Amino acid sequence: MKLQGVQQTKWMGVLVFALAILVFPFIVTQSFYLTQATFAGIYAIIAIGLGLLMGYAGQISLGQAAFYGIGAYTTSVLTATMGWSPWVSLPIALLFPGLLAFIMGYTMSRLSGYYLAMATLALGIIVHTLLVEWRGVTKGASGFFGIPQLNLFGYTINQGIPYYYLVWFFVIIVLILSLNIVHSRVGRALRSIHDSEIASSSMGVNTSKYKMQIFILSAMFAGLAGWLFAHMSYSISPAAFTFDASILFLAMVVLGGSGSVWGALIGTLLIRMVGIVVHMLGEKFPFITSDFEHVIYGLILMLVVIFLPRGLFPTVADWFDALLTKRSSKKSMLKLAAKR
Amino acid sequence: MLQVDSITKRFGGVVANSEVSFTVEEGQIVGLIGPNGAGKSTMFNMISSVFPPTTGTITFQGTRIEKLPAYQVAPLGISRTFQNLQVFKNMTVIENVMVGQHMQTKTNLFGMASLLLGITRKERKVYDQAMSYLAFFGLQDIFDQKASSLSLGKLRLLEFARAFATEPKLLLLDEIAAGLNHKETQEMSALINKVRDTGVTVLVVEHDMDLVMSICDKLVVLDQGVKIAEGTPKEIQENEAVITAYLGADIDEEEVEEEAI
Amino acid sequence: MGDLLQFTLTGVTIGSIYAIVALGFVTIYSVTKVINLAQGEFVMLGGLTMYSLTSAGVPYLLGFVITIIVVSILGWIMEYLLIRRAKGADPISLIILTIGTAIFIRGIASVVWGKDQLRVAPFTENTPVNIANATITPQAIWVVVIMLLVVFLLYILIDKTMVGKAFQASSVNPLAARLMGISPKRMSSLSFTLSAALGALAGLAIAPIMFPSYDMGTMLGIKGFSAAILGGLGSAPGAVIGGLLIGLLESLGAGYISSGMKDAITFSAILLILLIRPSGILGEKSVGKGGL
Amino acid sequence: ACSESVEKEEAGKAGGSAGSGEVSEYKIGAIYSKTGPNSPLGEPEWNATKLIEEKINSEGGINGVPLKIILADDESSQEKATQEANRLINDEKVLVLLGSSGSGESLAIKGIALQQQVPMISAAASTHIVEPVEDAKWVFKTPQSDRHAVERVYMYLNEQGISKIGTIIDSNAFGSSGLEQMEALADEYKIEIVAKESYNTQDPDMSAQLTKINGAKAEAIVVWGTNPGPAVVAKNTRDLGIDLPIIGSHGIANQNFITLAEAAAEGVVIPTGKLLFPSQISGDDVQFDAISSFYKAYTDKYSSEPTNFGSYGYDNIMLVIDALKNGATDREAIREHLENNITNWIGTTGVFNFSDKDHNGLTADSLVMAVVKDGKWMLLEK
Amino acid sequence: MNGDKLMEVIDLSVSYGPIQALKGVSLAINKGEIVALLGANGAGKTTLLQTISGLLKPTGGSIIYQGVNIAGMEAEKVVEKHLVHVPEHRQVFSTMTVLDNLYLGAYHHRKKSKMKNIEKNIGKVFDLFPILKDRKNQLGGTMSGGQQQMLAIARGVMAEPELLLLDEPSLGLAPLIAKDVLELVRNLRAEFGTTVLLIEQNVTASLKVADRGYVISHGEIVKSGSSKELLNDPEVKEAYLGHTVN
Ligand SMILES: Nc1ncnc2c1ncn2[C@@H]1O[C@H](COP(=O)(O)OP(=O)(O)OP(=O)(O)O)[C@@H](O)[C@H]1O
Ligand SMILES: Nc1ncnc2c1ncn2[C@@H]1O[C@H](COP(=O)(O)OP(=O)(O)OP(=O)(O)O)[C@@H](O)[C@H]1O
Ligand SMILES: CC(C)C[C@H](N)C(=O)O
Ligand SMILES: [Mg+2]
Ligand SMILES: [Mg+2]
């Protein structure tokens, strides 16, 4: 059902995307790319949640890695130390980050802007410190090891194609969930908060409730990613859940475009791609080392913000729209132009 | 319907409102006027619960509202527009109005996320309803434009339409005609009347005396935070205190004319 | 008791380092509303440039001056090439822009200076001074002195001069500022140059203490940012209070509670303070009636 | 990311893989942290590996089959290590995986090696890499474990008659697993840890922690970390006028520590492999030949010191070559060979005795104590 | 009061992207004149003022001010020529005090050590708007709508304008004050010979203070004449006054 003038989910897009996911391992068979794609999926889940938080609740989080880490450590402790089944620990790995977000969100509701960013940064650092110091539970800085693999119907989900499908299965679920939220009345309400919080509250939108819900949801997404990451790896360590990781997630969202769910996904893939391209260049030209990767990575961040301030996806989507509407009417072209 | 009872609001040393009381009866158009800084917007903000009064009570249809958060006042049936426009710039015209209808449907974030197909039917209903509101305000032709591309006059209308879409019982309009020229102001007057005729009570703040005098059933006049008069437009126009504080004598129009050139 | 004094001296030293970095944040923020997360990289460049100059045999004082000039120029370039072109991007994107810049600078620095920590000589003879059973090195005293000097000058500049008002005006309302004859672009580039100079100064002051290396900027950036926020964004005295507070929390936390938990202690305290004062210790509550 | 393999695609197909029959080359994968924070470790390991590859191939390979080592850089990141491990095992079909330099990365790879049943030899310190052995069937390692280093330090302390120590560790993986071992072995060596402090790698000042250690009446300060932390510790200790002996870890067995700490470095004692000062090793040491020939070859080629890390890289590849030479040419056979046939095997790190109970195969004797004297590391005579 | 041209706008064009907002506007203002600019919403009035003051760059045409073409000159340079623009929507510095706002109005002649002059001017604007004096330490953004408008005008006066561009100065002002503001325009001229270009939605009132007026529509000047002429022009009445000729 097409409602003109209203943002709606393009189910066609989701379908095409899902198909692409499905056939990817048949086209690209190298294990290297498959691992890359699996990691990309894990990060995409975090980025989509963070994108909701940034683009729709208008909040920045400099500590998303904390929730990711809590998800990963929760399931690691429950399965490796306490012997639970990973499937039973999955809800707990979502619950804990969500709960923390709830408590944090509750106390942080008085903060805004950079002060809120500071609070999330603090959260990230506190959680990281606890992961390092609470050695009795987390086994400290050298990391938690011996995390069991996932089993499904007696079949072990190994790294490689099985894990790739598992991860992307969850990505698609998260994607659909998020698209639904964004294109519902709640999403609309959230977008309105972005433009004028005061006006939306006088429309009866309970802004702090929605912000809180999104914060919790994004934390749970990160927790899910943590769960996936833990059971893929034999060991995890606090080093994966640092400020740098939080920044990386942020960069993914901004690159892709924080105003859209697809943007976060695209941004994630893009960042992975940069890594791969530099890796390949490195094989051709030995002087391109990983140091160079950072230089190029920094460069790309700079260029995107300067030339595509809204991020990659919305800009490209607009070009696309413009192309499509070109023939339909001159009027809409003018409208588009006026937007610029 | 609305009862404002000895409201005082202080900002540090500044007393924006002092012991102000007045009532608004159902179905009326009431004007709140007074010189700049009299405390009109402050009063509006307290009625719509943007911030609470320092002392005093505000009762709306029997409910005390002065301490409620803003989003809880809206469901009771109070809606408002803003002196400095607060449209949702990055949304289309119809989406703006649909946010206005936020309260007409329920379902929270998690319920929403899990519903796949059910929502579209509901969406359709909201959409059609929004369209009819737009038609009411003459905005139907530009329903899919981004709000940021509209001219000032249209923006004022959009704010109005959005506030109306919350299906309020009481509508607060803060300088809704500011920046409109004479002709547009007249159109706005007509629209306010039309809205009242649908059964909505209206409270307006406005400096355009032509508009105020022509549509209001009752006027409340503030000056430096204090209520100095209350009555029908006719009474107010003749009230000495109001003339010296606010309206100014009509005679000087001719003076100006003589001096010119 | 002697311990307390020692912890306090140490806290003040570390805190002063954070404070100088925070002052860089404040300088840029108060003009452009940009949070420049590459501020730590200016500090790093200051330390490493000085290293290269002194090891090339440039006299100490001359090296000092050249370092500040070189880094200032880099700050100016950053503003001219990047920030200016990204006007219209929202604050989050701008943060990402500065992060991108930081990563870029760090990458280049690791190619130029390698990855090892380097040693830079102290300003003066560095025999520790004994104060009632506690010691402090002359270089640490230099750090504190420089910090105080900087905050004093900044305070005068921002709060007492027309330039300071112009700084603020360009950030509050650039359009109106232009109509008053203030060029927000010039102010923006001035603020970046100035804060790069501050960064370089910080780098010079702390290089003899903490062995500069290409990756020192991140930590300093985080702590400086935290100090600036804690003090109340945009307030120079606030940045100093924030920096000293964090330094003291760290050293007292490490001294009396647990050095492993010192970051958790410090940042929990920051959270707590923000809950009580949501706009930082000296921060103004954001004003403007919005649409009311 | 830089992986030094030429004609990779081709080789992947030709495959010197686990299969038997006519083999064109032996393919080995090595993941070392050539860049990132662990680069001081990874760089010499990487160099040593290349050195051996060239040497073997110039001598006509192993039993006529050339050796092909695919080197990969994990940039000191677990995630990258995982990706590279998957690539080397599945795409390149290597026989053995070497690396990585850091404990965290090694543990990450360990999971994959176990899943895919590929023998792996790590160059990192943590004991968890090979313990418990039941959970490390395919995993071996050559560097002395933290346990060895701590044992060596404790032996030294006992000799000196010091029984109360204050520890200060880097709060990263290296430091904390050092502390873990210090705690675990304290009773056995009758050492009392009177203060446990830590710092973050980039912290500018550690006076607070040191004041606390001093106040706790420690008789020595043990600092477990890599540069620059220990240099700051040394400097702060001397600036504070604290007159306690400082004992470091093998993590600072390099000249840079001395460059940074300057005068404060004087007298600092550490446990280290012998490769730190080949010229000071006595001629009758069983490792003498191995160490001096490797040292010479390395310094000739790279004109830099191989450091202890070079020795791990060297031993790792040499162990594999030993297996191949002895006809163990598939994954399972190499594992069997490493577990069963490495006894009294002389490497540059130490003398190895692998078994199904011990996949590290070293004792604390493989470490010696060194002290800074006149700006140089010197062997500490007993 | 005639002949001595202070500013002449010749064939000025301005575009927002593909949309042309001004299409060859020409007008002239003599020294000491008060000129009204009339036009419907979106006609291009604000655009014209912003182009004159340098906030917008024209795509064509010239603006000769005191014999110099200032078209395309940066806004911050234009104001140094004592060509001062009081913009639409007040644009006060919301987080700065009233006093700081006023000081900034005089920013462009800070160098000539005219501090004494500045103090004098502040006294003067305080006389004009006593509320500003009472609230001199209140933050601009917390003032009421009308108070902010007064502050914006006062800030403009602080710049010692020779040519003052006023964009809807009485927007949101109470009727009494609105009259005062128009009165002020005449006082400025009387006292300092300030020339004024004025935009007002209240066409009658603005034509009453102005000597002459221009009517702009869809980016083009469609009419001009003395205030009397325009006031009595049937088309003007029809279009802007809303009531038909009686
Ligand atoms: N946050 C605040 N801090 C200090 N004073 C304030 C604040 N908000 C409003 N005021 C003062 O309170 C008084 C009332 O302001 P209010 O905005 O209600 O006036 P108003 O009647 O709406 O005027 P206008 O017609 O000019 O919009 C003014 O003197 C104003 O300066
Ligand atoms: N930033 C902008 N981007 C695109 N179009 C614009 C922009 N600003 C103004 N316009 C368009 O330019 C035209 C002239 O606008 P302008 O603001 O000059 O009108 P005005 O006469 O001042 O109207 P008002 O009485 O509403 O203030 C209008 O059609 C408007 O939509
Ligand atoms: C310094 C080294 C001994 C570190 C060690 N390889 C590790 O586990 O990280
Ligand atoms: Mg008001
Ligand atoms: Mg206008």
B-chain CB neighbours of C291 within 8 Å are: 82-86
Indicate the class that CATH gives domain C2-126+135-276.
Answer: mainly alpha
Percentage of residues in chain D having pLDDT higher than 70? 94
How many Cβ pairs closer than 8 A exist between chain A and E? Answer: 10
Distance from C-alpha of C240 to C-alpha of C155, rounded to nearest angstrom: 11
Tell me what pLDDT residue A22 has: 86
What's the mean pLDDT in E194-214?
85
Structure confidence at residue D233 as a pLDDT band (50, 70, 90) = very high
| Distances from the Cα of A275 to the Cα of A268, A269, A300, C114, D293, angstroms | 11, 10, 11, 22, 39
Q: How far is the CA of D100 from the centre of ligand 2 (A)?
A: 64
The CATH homologous superfamily for domain E5-91+160-240 is P-loop containing nucleotide triphosphate hydrolases (3.40.50.300)
The whole-model pTM stands at 0.86
Q: Do D2 and A288 touch (CB under 8 A)?
A: yes
Among protein residues, the one whose CA lies closest to atom 9 of ligand 3: D102
CB of A143 within 8 A of CB of C292? no
Tens-place pLDDT, residues D79-135: 889 989 999 998 889 999 998 998 889 988 998 999 889 999 999 988 889 988 998
Q: Which residue has the tokens 């594999």?
A: D320
How many Cβ pairs closer than 8 A exist between chain A and D? Answer: 124
Q: Which of D43, D79, D131 is the best mutation test for A, with the most CBs of A within 10 A?
A: D79
Give the minimum alpha-carbon distance from D173 to chain C in angstroms, rounded to a whole number.
13
Dihedral Cα D65, D69, D70, D75, nearest 10 deg: 170
Judged by 3 or more CB pairs under 8 A, whether B touches D is: no
E-chain CB neighbours of C176 within 8 Å are: 87, 91-93
Tell me what pLDDT residue A87 has: 93
CB of E56 within 8 A of CB of E30? no
Helices (H), C86-173: 91-113, 138-155, 162-172
| CB-based contacts of A68, cutoff 8 Å, min separation 6 | A46, A97, A222, A223, A225, A226, A229, A240, A241, A245
CB of B35 within 8 A of CB of A167? no
User: Which domains, and CATH codes, for chain A?
Assistant: 2-309 (1.10.3470)
Distance from C-alpha of A39 to C-alpha of D79, rounded to nearest angstrom: 8
Ligand number with the minimum distance to the CA of E48: 2
Among protein residues, the one whose CA lies closest to atom 6 of ligand 1: E142
State the DSSP string of D193-228.
Answer: EEEEEEE-TT-S--HHHHHHHHHTT-SEEEEE--TT
| Distances from the Cα of D299 to the Cα of A202, C38, C114, D252, D293, angstroms | 75, 39, 20, 20, 10
Tell me what pLDDT residue C19 has: 93
Tell me what pLDDT residue D213 has: 93
* pLDDT above 90: residue E205: no
Structure confidence at residue E41 as a pLDDT band (50, 70, 90) = confident
Distance from C-alpha of C43 to C-alpha of C38, rounded to nearest angstrom: 9
| CB-based contacts of A98, cutoff 8 Å, min separation 6 | A216, A217, A219, A220, A223
| CB-based contacts of D173, cutoff 8 Å, min separation 6 | A141, A142, A143, A237, A239, D102, D103, D104, D126
Which segments in chain A show pLDDT lower than 50? 327-340
Tens-place pLDDT, residues B55-66: 888 888 888 888
Tens-place pLDDT, residues D137-166: 999 999 998 899 999 999 999 999 999 999
Tell me what pLDDT residue A323 has: 66
Other Cβ atoms less than 10 A from the Cβ of A285: the count is 11
pLDDT per 10-residue tile (average), chain C, 292 residues: 83 92 89 87 94 91 93 92 81 84 90 85 82 84 90 84 84 85 87 90 89 89 92 87 94 89 92 86 58 38
Average pLDDT, chain D: 88
Q: Which chains touch E (3 or more CB pairs under 8 A)?
A: A, B, C
User: Which domains, and CATH codes, for chain B?
Assistant: 2-85+169-260 (3.40.50.300)
Q: How far is the CA of B16 from the centre of ligand 1 (A)?
A: 6
E-chain CB neighbours of B253 within 8 Å are: 208
Judged by 3 or more CB pairs under 8 A, whether C touches E is: yes
The ipTM estimated for the assembled molecules is 0.84
Distance from C-alpha of D32 to C-alpha of D28, rounded to nearest angstrom: 13
Q: How far is the CA of B15 from the centre of ligand 1 (A)?
A: 9
Distance from C-alpha of E119 to C-alpha of B89, rounded to nearest angstrom: 41
CB of B39 within 8 A of CB of B223? no
Residue D103 in contact with ligand 3 by CB distance below 6 A: yes
Tell me what pLDDT residue E111 has: 63
Residue A187: closest CA among chain B residues belongs to which residue? B109
Tell me what pLDDT residue C215 has: 86
Distance from C-alpha of D28 to C-alpha of D97, rounded to nearest angstrom: 6
Q: How far is the CA of A258 from the centre of ligand 4 (A)?
A: 35
Sheet holding B226-231, edge to edge: B78-80, B170-174, B201-205, B29-33, B218-223, B226-231
Is C285 part of the contact surface with chain B (CB cutoff 8 Å)?
no
Tell me what pLDDT residue D1 has: 41
Paired tokens of D24? 């064109």
Paired tokens of A313? 């996806």
DSSP-derived pairing of the beta strands B55-60 and B63-64 = antiparallel
DSSP-derived pairing of the beta strands D345-346 and D220-224 = unpaired
Say if residue E234 is exposed, middle or buried (CB neighbours under 10 Å; 0-12, 13-18, 19+): exposed
Tens-place pLDDT, residues E220-242: 888 888 888 888 887 777 766 54
The full set of domain ranges for chain C reads 2-126+135-276
CB of A286 within 8 A of CB of D50? no
Judged by 3 or more CB pairs under 8 A, whether D touches E is: no
CB of D230 within 8 A of CB of D253? no
Residue E44 in contact with ligand 2 by CB distance below 6 A: yes
What's the mean pLDDT in B127-144?
86
Q: Which residue has the tokens 């009326």?
A: B28
Give the minimum alpha-carbon distance from C151 to chain D in angstroms, rounded to a whole number.
21
| CB-based contacts of C260, cutoff 8 Å, min separation 6 | A129, A132, A133, D171, D196, D197, D198
Distance from C-alpha of D198 to C-alpha of D201, rounded to nearest angstrom: 10
Tens-place pLDDT, residues D172-220: 888 888 999 999 999 999 999 999 999 988 888 888 899 999 999 999 9
- CA D95 vs. chain centroid, Å, equals 22
Q: Which of C30, C160, C170, C180 is the best mutation test for E, with the most CBs of E within 10 A?
A: C180
What's the mean pLDDT in B140-162?
84
Residue B14 in contact with ligand 2 by CB distance below 6 A: no
- CA A235 vs. chain centroid, Å, equals 22
Atom of ligand 1 nearest to the CA of B42: 18
- CA C257 vs. chain centroid, Å, equals 27
Distance from C-alpha of A150 to C-alpha of A166, rounded to nearest angstrom: 10
Tens-place pLDDT, residues E150-197: 888 888 888 888 888 988 888 877 777 777 788 888 888 887 788 888
Ligand number with the minimum distance to the CA of E145: 1
| CB-based contacts of B251, cutoff 8 Å, min separation 6 | none
Say if residue D15 is exposed, middle or buried (CB neighbours under 10 Å; 0-12, 13-18, 19+): middle
Is A196 part of the contact surface with chain D (CB cutoff 8 Å)?
no
Nearest to D165 by CA among D101, D85, D83, D249: D249
Tens-place pLDDT, residues D240-256: 889 999 999 988 888 88
Distance from C-alpha of D258 to C-alpha of D241, rounded to nearest angstrom: 19
The full set of domain ranges for chain E reads 5-91+160-240
- Three-state DSSP class for B19? strand
Tens-place pLDDT, residues B69-124: 878 888 888 888 887 788 888 888 888 888 888 777 766 555 555 555 555 667 77
Please report, in angstroms and rounded to a whole number, the separation of the first and last CA atoms in chain C: 56
Structure confidence at residue E112 as a pLDDT band (50, 70, 90) = low
Tell me what pLDDT residue C35 has: 87
- Three-state DSSP class for A6? coil
Paired tokens of D181? 């071992």
Paired tokens of E1? 């009061």
CB of C123 within 8 A of CB of C209? no
Q: Do A143 and D103 touch (CB under 8 A)?
A: yes
Residue E201 in contact with ligand 1 by CB distance below 6 A: no
Residue D251 in contact with ligand 3 by CB distance below 6 A: yes
